[in-house]
Amino acid sequence: MAANALAASPEASARDLMLAKEFHGQNIVGWAMSEKLDGVRGLWDGRQLISRGGHAFAPPPGFTKDFPPFALDGELFGGRGTFEQTAAALQTGGSDWQGIKLHVFDVPEASGSLYERLQEARDWLARHPACNFTVIEQRPVQSMEQARRFLKEVEALGGEGLVFRNPELPYSAGRSDGFLKWKSRFDEECTVVAHHPGKGKYTGLLGAVTCENRHGRFRIGSGWKDSDRRNPPAIGAVITYRYRGFTAKGLPRFATYLRRFQEN
């Protein structure tokens, strides 16, 4: 297997994916909701798996042998808290794809409502149960209180957030008002501009970094694994952090390190 398992695919880049907008309190009663998976976007075009950037993945032999002849849009996902491992496996290919499946949230070329489109994928899966894809459960939204409870459940389990879909809208390219994502914690990128040494049990290791982005300069001292503290992102590296709103000075509140930035 080549060191980089992504190959350019001109055909893939011609397809526009449906992309989510942020949820800002819109009326979503009657919509479908599901967990927002922290994986890597993947489109099965009937012949190959393609990334959001229009590159073909090189999965292990046999991974897609029972996939359908029609398109599936979803997330290549290996489980909560495994984004870095999943992204690395997708880059290198090979047996590290073990545990990774395509979690399908739409069948782009099918007709009917979202539920009807997804039923086509379920019907195929029923006939080919060994397929390396699954269909993401969609729950009808009955009230905002129900959605808030579901968000808390997902986040308590280490999930990223929720996705809302207007089930009556067809699949369409680009940002959609009928495709919304909701998180109580937000992710953003910043550039590392300084390292600060640790104290106490972290003596000799990284204690924190100073980062910079459009919000200004701020420190990130939590969220680091011991392996990160031993081998921190270099000055000039871009990292992803998680935060909850902003301070009175406009800086990210409760910023915690999430991972080295990987464009997916």
Tell me the Cα Rg of the chain: 20
Which segment, 105-109, 253-257, 259-263, is predicted with the most confidence on average?
Answer: 105-109
Q: What is the predicted pLDDT for the residue at 198?
A: 94
Residue 255 — φ and ψ, nearest 5°?
-70, 130
**Average pLDDT for the chain:** 89
What's the rounded mean pLDDT across residues 32-45?
Answer: 95
Q: What is the pTM of this model?
A: 0.72
Give the domains, in start order, of the chain with CATH numbers.
Answer: 6-182 (3.30.470.30), 186-260 (2.40.50.140)
What is the full DSSP assignment across the chain? Answer: --S--EEE-HHHHTSPPEEEEEPSS---TTSEEEEE--SEEEEE-SS-EEETTSEEE-PPTTTTTT--SS-EEEEEE--TT-HHHHHHHHHH-GGGGTT-EEEEEE-TT--S-HHHHHHHHHHHHHH-TT-SEEEPP-EE---HHHHHHHHHHHHHTT--EEEEE-TTSPP-SEEEEEEEEE-SSEEEEEEEEEEEEB-GGGBTSEEEEEEEETTEEEEE-BS--HHHHHSPPPTT-EEEEEE-SB-TTSPBTT-EEEEE----
Give residue 82's pLDDT band: very low, low, confident or very high (50, 70, 90). confident
More confident residue, 193 or 160: 193
Give yes or no: 36 in active site: yes
The single residue of 36, 65, 225, 249 carrying the catalytic annotation is: 36
